[in-house]
């Protein structure tokens, strides 16, 4: 495994991380109009334990979480294998500014602390290595950011969190925020063969401020939530890398990137990601370009239509949104 320093944190993180949505998407209440099946969650935990064990054995030491059941599942796995001290774990509060804006200011502190404490409890730990401020562009205000950063700095000083991060889909916005406040130790941003704007708008600033860069969505492009591999399964471009490996390798060619976080739903998917690092070959982006052109061509409509009836609801919804985008163009 390759390791890179995560900016000013000094954390030596694996170039490949494991993302928050690997814990069985169909247990995700944010994508389904049903409650999480708690019995099934615990019954299937052993499968997720094995995914985490394989990641640990491969040298992966960075884990990103979003939803609470993801935090709990990771916490159970790390407890089983006794490896909490060997890894860096990122947690977040989902759309905190929405919740704070709807509440009186006297409640802001409790809202943030409750989110953090509940996740630490699920993680079976007293601290988080990174706390990501989720989508600060959503309901942003100067008052909200100032209050939140002030509290996070307080928690960092106490050891409750070790680094203050931001998770965003808007690299230009976060760059402007960093120029004003220099308040983040790390940023997590979308960056891939299709979404390249962070390279120009954010990465140079991160380098100047020594802010660590974590990349999300290495596989879900050009349509949100849909792996690009749906559009290149039959490509025969000669390459030492599979399309997914080529995407990971392409992203890591940017030296500002410390870690690429990929979600996995099986050991087989994880193994494919890991094998990216078995090869010391220059990536040829022809395979990525061909997949992109396929995804943007008329033939993608048929693929999206099939995906719109995919058994995983989150895929269906993303496919329907992509088809709506097609109709609008």
Span 276-323, pLDDT tens digits: 998 877 888 888 998 898 888 888 888 888 888 876 656 777 788 888
Q: Where are the domains of the chain?
A: 3-283, 297-329
Q: Which of 30-34, 58-62, 101-105 has the highest mean pLDDT?
A: 58-62
Give mean pLDDT, residues 30-47.
68
Better-predicted residue by pLDDT, 275 or 312:
275
pLDDT at 127: 94
Better-predicted residue by pLDDT, 137 or 209:
209
State the fold for domain 3-283. TIM Barrel (3.20.20)
Whether residue 17 has pLDDT greater than 90: yes
Give mean pLDDT, residues 99-121.
90
Indicate the pLDDT class of residue 328, thresholds 50, 70 and 90.
low
**Euclidean distance between CA atoms 155 and 77, whole angstroms:** 26
CB-CB contact of 329 with 300 (8 Å): no
Residue recorded with tokens 């960056």: 191
Coil, strand, or helix at residue 91? Answer: strand
Measuring CA to CA, how many Å separate 238 from each of 199, 230, 234, 292? 27, 18, 12, 16
Per-residue pLDDT reduced to its tens digit, 231-257: 886 655 667 888 999 999 999 999 999
pLDDT at 316: 73
Indicate the pLDDT class of residue 30, thresholds 50, 70 and 90.
very low
**Euclidean distance between CA atoms 289 and 88, whole angstroms:** 33
């Amino acid at each position: 495994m390759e390791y890179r320093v995560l900016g000013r944190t000094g954390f030596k993180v694996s170039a490949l991380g494991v993302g928050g949505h690997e814990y069985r998407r169909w247990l995700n209440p944010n994508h389904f109009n049903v409650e999480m099946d708690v019995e099934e969650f615990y019954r299937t935990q052993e499968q997720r334990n094995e995914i985490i064990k394989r990641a640990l054995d491969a040298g992966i030491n960075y884990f990103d979480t979003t939803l609470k059941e993801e935090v709990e599942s990771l916490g159970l796995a790390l407890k089983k294998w006794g490896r909490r001290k060997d890894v860096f774990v990122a947690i977040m509060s989902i759309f905190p500014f929405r919740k704070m804006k709807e509440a009186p200011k006297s409640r802001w502190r409790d809202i943030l602390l409750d989110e953090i404490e509940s996740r630490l409890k699920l993680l079976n730990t007293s601290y988080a290595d990174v706390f990501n401020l989720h989508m600060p562009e959503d309901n942003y205000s100067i008052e909200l950011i100032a209050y939140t950063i002030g509290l996070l700095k307080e928690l960092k000083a106490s050891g409750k969190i070790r680094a203050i991060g931001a998770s965003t889909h808007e690299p230009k916005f976060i760059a402007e925020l960093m120029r004003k406040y220099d308040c983040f130790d790390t940023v997590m941003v979308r960056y891939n063969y299709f979404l390249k704007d962070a390279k120009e708008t954010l990465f140079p600033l991160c380098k100047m401020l020594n802010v660590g860069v974590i990349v999300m969505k290495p596989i879900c492009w050009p349509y949100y939530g849909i792996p690009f591999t749906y559009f290149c399964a039959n490509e025969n471009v000669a390459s030492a890398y599979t399309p997914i490996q080529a995407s990971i390798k392409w992203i890591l060619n940017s030296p500002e990137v410390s870690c690429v976080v990929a979600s996995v739903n099986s050991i087989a998917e994880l193994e494919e990601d890991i094998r990216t690092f078995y090869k010391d070959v220059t990536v040829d982006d022809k395979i990525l370009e061909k997949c992109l052109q396929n995804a943007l061509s008329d033939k993608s409509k048929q693929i999206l239509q099939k995906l719109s009836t995919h058994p995983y609801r989150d895929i269906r919804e993303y496919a329907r949104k992509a088809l709506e985008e097609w109709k609008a163009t």
